[in-house]
Amino acid sequence: MRANGLIATDWGEGLADGAGAMAGAWNAAVEAKRRGVALGDTDAMREVARYNEVDCRVMAEILDHLRREH
C-alpha cells in the first residue's frame, strides 16, 4: 500500500512477519535466560519491539485509509 501512496509508513529492514517476530521473541527469551538478563535487554527482543511498533502503525494507517475511502 505504501508503494501506491496509500499509507506513509515504510517497513524498512528487519523481521519479515509475525511468525518471525514470535521466533525472535522465543530466541530472545532463551538468550535472556542464558545471560541472566531481562528479556527487554536483548537485541533480539528490541528488534521484535521495533517490528511490533511498525506493524501496529501500518495497521492503523490501513484502517484509516479504508474508513476514509471505502
Question: Predicted confidence band at 4 (pLDDT cuts at 50, 70, 90)?
Answer: very high
- 8 located within any domain: no
Residue that is written with C-alpha cell 476514509 in the block: 68
Range of the domain at 30: 18-69
| pLDDT beyond 80 at 53 | yes
pTM score of the predicted model: 0.81
- 1 located within any domain: no
- Residue-averaged pLDDT of the chain: 93
Q: Count how many Cα atoms sit within 13 Å of the Cα of residue 41 in the half-sphere of its side chain.
A: 8
C-alpha closest to that of 23 among 48, 52, 49, 54? 48
Question: Predicted confidence band at 43 (pLDDT cuts at 50, 70, 90)?
Answer: very high
Considering only residues 14 and 28, tell me which one the structure prediction assigns the higher pLDDT: 28
- 33 located within any domain: yes
- 2 located within any domain: no
Residue 34 has a CB neighbour count (10 Å cut-off) of: 9
Number of domains into which the chain is organized: 1
- 22 located within any domain: yes
DSSP class per residue in 17-69: SHHHHHHHHHHHHHHHHHHT--GGGSHHHHHHHHHHHHHHHHHHHHHHHHHHH
Residue 11, pLDDT score? 79
